[in-house]
Structure 1
């Protein structure tokens, strides 16, 4: 009875330890550049340690009254495509709007698990997402993980935090701006004569 209890406790400890190791994987957003008309957000992963990422499937929720999806570039701007470490192309990728304010990102590597394990970085940018700014204010980006798997096909767990983006929409000039400038110019010209 004592041996079974010890074995059970050891099993629980091993399961808890494996969950802690997986929980070290972090997915996070980072604003890269912003203008009055557009914003670029990087989606990165870190803490892979001994694991290599083989596939992911995420839903990104955003406020469609503040932001409009404009495009995505898969891969890290410095390290290259870390799910295509041999740069052979052919990975399955998708970026689709599922509903207003819901963007689905998917990528699956065709590289060999050993190559990913050996050549993939521990931390890298998965994709850079571009949004057009529709109106000023604050918009929160939420990341929902549909699937995350290692190069060997084993499921991975990760933590993800939302990002609050403060957008500043372009302020349009009034319709009468240029006629007013012309009027001031005429008045100044007449004063000199």
Structure 2
């Protein structure tokens, strides 16, 4: 009987721990682009609970990219569909970003009340999106380093997994002229030369 009770207790604990397996995923709007194309990479959190604890109140992360393949353009805060989930009451949030050679630091702190965050925040949403421009041919990896991430009260949240993404950059494809266009061009040149030789006589 004791073994059965201990087994059920262990199962209950494992289920409760896995219920909040929080993950952060980097999602590119396209994984194959040409030199000169723009891309958007979303930094998306999931595994929080809809309208209950835990909720996200603060994060400080580094977005890492290959600077030989991509130029940083700008950062867009919040979720394009759900709005900024760290600014649910319209009080704003503290947002700060800085960039280096191949990284972008993004910090955001919510001014919302902790209970409001727990009651109103979605369980999955985009923290921010990074806009970049492809400048060279190659395969570029995007990753994320977490400096700090906390719940509505500022307590540390444990991140279960962080998944990066890869974008392949190819050269701009220049279509070859068709044989019909070449033939027409040659005929135009011949006709022009014939006309010029007649006018010189």
Compute the TM-score of the two structures, normalised by the length of structure 2.
0.74
Change (3 A) 1:189 1:156: farther
Shift of 1:190: 2.0
Counterpart for residue 177 of structure 1: none
1:44 matched to 2:12:
no
Counterpart for residue 62 of structure 1: 65
Counterpart for residue 129 of structure 1: 130
1:1-193 correspondence runs (5 A): 20-22=18-20, 24-33=21-30, 36=34, 37-49=37-49, 50-89=53-92, 91-97=93-99, 99-158=100-159, 159-170=161-172, 187=189, 190=192
Change (3 A) 1:171 1:116: same
Deviations 1:90-112 (A, max 9, x none): x1111211x31011111110110
Residue pair 2:62, 2:146 contacting (<8 A) in 1 also:
yes
Alpha-carbon distance between aligned partners in 2 of 1:109 and 1:151, rounded to the nearest angstrom = 8
Deviations 1:96-141 (A, max 9, x none): 11x3101111111011001111111000111111011111211001
Change (3 A) 1:184 1:64: farther
Give the number of the structure whose alpha-carbon radius of gyration is greater.
2
Residue pair 1:133, 1:169 contacting (<8 A) in 2 also:
no
Q: Which runs of 5+ in 1 are unaligned?
A: 1-9, 174-182
Shift of 1:21: 4.9
Q: Which runs of 5+ in 2 are unaligned?
A: 1-8, 176-184, 196-201
